[in-house]
Structure 1
Amino acid sequence: MQNSTIPRMPLETFATDNYQQPLLNVEHYPVDSQYFVIQNRDTYPIKDYISPHRRKFYKIFHMTRGTGVLTIGLHRYEMGRNEIAFLHPDEIMSWQTTSAETGGHFCLIHPNYFGLEADHVLQLFRQFPNFETDKAVIQLTDEQSATINGYFETMHREDRGNSDDKKQAILLQLQMLLLESRRAGKNLMRTKASEGYSYIYRFLSLLESSFQIQERDSYVKLKTAAEFADQLHVHPNYLNSLVRNQTGKTLREHIQDRLIHEAKSLLVQTDWGINEISDGLGFSGQAAFTSLFKKKALVSPSEFRRNAAVSTHI
């Protein structure tokens, strides 16, 4: 393997220049998430994290107070009050808070939420230009921000209500939110993500691209930590140190965690046998799969599937 010719930023400099907090947790959305989620930051505080793509959710969040650094793909935004961000499901993103408190709302919308009766709204989302990484954050005036905050508050109230037509009310508010944001039209200036962050981004992107299991005869072609480093043209020790310094986990731990997340998804969302899932994920046998799953999830694959089925029907 050839050494990279790209200059390398010391880990201490990377951490100091880019993030005040030492760690960003890599988080995947729960395998059994609802198709629509909305939260108020007053009761659901924001936390620092990195989210790989394949989230399957559009995400919109609006800030009414506080500051933070949002990175979408390799575009870095320093966000503050009266700004709104649009995140496409296919993009890796991270957030790091830089103020004592933050305020506002966020919502997650799965494409399946719209259904056939609201396919026109889904098309609005697919065509909305601010879901592109270089246009993802919009600056709002005080008046525009107050209007958009009202849309979020209405969706929050409707989501927790019992009205038969609450979905229609939420869809109307989403359309108005997109319209008001488009009218504002002032994109927040972005900068390029640091070299150190770009390695983390590229590693997570390569890791995610390994998981394309959609049929019973699909197989994960997972690389080792050394193979990922080779593909990124860096020394494995350097990549491992960089990732561990920023996320608190080694390359090997990230690979194992991603395997278990995929296993959980398959256990919940398919009727495949444990042996089929084990084979699809590239394990040498069901015993090896069960051993790692129990170590990470604290229950066996069969127990996890039974528990998920019970909670779904409560």
Structure 2
Amino acid sequence: MENSTIPRLELETFAREGYKVPILNIEYHPLNSRYFVIENRNNFPIRDYISPQRRKFYKVFHMTSGTGVLIVGLHRYEMGPNEIAFIHPDEIMSWQTTSGETGGHFCLVHPEYFGPDADHVLNLFRQYPYFAPDRAVIRLTDEQSATINGYFEAMLSEDRGANDDKKQAILLQLQMLLLESQRAGRNLAKTTISEEYGYIYRFLSLLESAFQVQKRDTYAKLKTAAEFANELHVHPNYLNALVRTQTGKTLREHIQDRLLYEAKSLLVQTDWGINEISDGLGFSGQAAFTSFFRKKTNTSPSAYRKNAMIPVNI
């Protein structure tokens, strides 16, 4: 493909500011996750990763120690203690730790967690101004950070407890957390992302947009690695080398991984027939889909569906 805009960078330039060893792993959200998850970083250390998929969960995390680089969309934040971040379900994000360890908490909240009796809390999340990539991180005072840490601790205690009204208590703490953060309202200064990360982000964004199989009459819009590169106006070899250097996988491997994740999602979260899923994902027939799935998982689609755990709202 001839294009005067194709960059001719050496491989060594791929590892400049914004990346370090180890490479950033691509992580998809577990299909069997509960609708509300809260963890303490002391028991759940953060890892370097990219979350390429637009998730169904709102994510909030608060740092009490350590440092790291958060990228939300195309906005880069250098985070440290006494800072809190808000990640919208539609945003692609990455994290890279730049210190020995990090402390604090994080929570994931699925819209279904709120239920009809808490629509007002869901609306707070939908309208909250800091679930935006250009306003995603807030710097807190020591006092504000201690208060917010208390909210997380209270939610963690309720989540692990057996009170019949624990969901109500958690929702109250979430509302207080949003209010306290909004009162702080001082966004952390953003820095420019690298050109290389921009290409990775745009590839992952295009890949995600290809998988919008939400109804029986919708189909995945699969593309080859060369077609993705063409949309980004770069040479396929350049894009493939860049993505492989930073994530450890080729473009083709990412495409197949995303296809497999979509297949698992449809098997677990819908009652569609195997043939319907095969058609929706663009396979030539059920036999081709079963062969692909078995090669990747060592089990058949029907056996995977039978053994999969269905998410439970608690």
TM-score normalised by the shorter chain: which range applies?
over 0.9
Q: TM-score, normalised by structure 2?
A: 0.96
CA contact 2:69–2:95 (8 Å) conserved in 1: yes
Q: Distance in 1 between matches of 2:29 and 2:63?
A: 21
Give the C-alpha shift of residue 310 in structure 1: 8.4
Q: 1:145 to 1:310 in 2, by over 3 A?
A: closer
Identical positions, percent: 76
Letter in 2 for 1:242: L
**Which AA in structure 1 matches 2:48?**
D
Q: Where in structure 2 are the equivalents of 1:228-267 lying within 5 Å?
A: 228-267=228-267
Q: Are 2:117 and 1:117 aligned?
A: yes
Conservation of the 8 A alpha-carbon contact between 1:74 and 1:198: yes
Partner of 1:39: 39
Tell me how far apart the structure 2 counterparts of residues 6 and 226 of structure 1 sit (CA, whole Å).
Answer: 14
TM-score, normalisation: structure 1: 0.96
Matched with 1:209 is 209
SS in 2 for 1:302: helix
Could you tell me which residue of structure 2 aligns to residue 226 of structure 1? 226
**CA distance in 2: counterparts of 1:250 and 1:48, whole angstroms:** 18
**Bigger relative CO (Cα 8 Å, ≥ 6 apart):** 2
Equivalent position of 2:72 in the other structure: 72
The secondary structure found in structure 2 opposite 1:255 is: helix
Mark the runs of 5 or more structure 2 residues left unpaired by the alignment: none
Quote the Cα distance in structure 2 between the aligned partners of 1:35 and 1:15: 37
Q: Which moved more, 1:80-89 or 1:285-294?
A: 285-294
Other-structure match for 2:290 = 290
Partner of 1:151, secondary structure, is helix
The answer on whether the counterparts of 1:57 and 1:110 sit within 8 Å (CA) in structure 2 is yes
Any idea what SS the aligned residue of 1:197 has? Answer: helix
Residue correspondences, number: 312
On the 8 A contact 1:4/1:233 being kept in 2, the answer is: no
> 1:20 offset after TM fit, Å?
2.0
Listed as ranges, the gaps of 5+ residues in structure 1 are none
Give the equivalent residue in structure 2 for 1:184. 184
Are 1:15 and 1:22, in contact at CA under 8 Å, matched by a contact in 2? no
Give the corresponding residue for 2:135. 135
Residue 274 of structure 1: how far off its partner (Å): 1.0
1:116 deviates by 1.0
For 1:310 and 1:179, how far apart are their aligned partners in 2?
33
Per the alignment, residue 148 of structure 2 pairs with 148
Q: Does residue 1:56 correspond to 2:73, yes or no?
A: no
Shift of 1:28: 1.1
Cα deviation for residue 8 of structure 1 reads 5.4
Moved over 3 A (4+): 6-11, 309-312
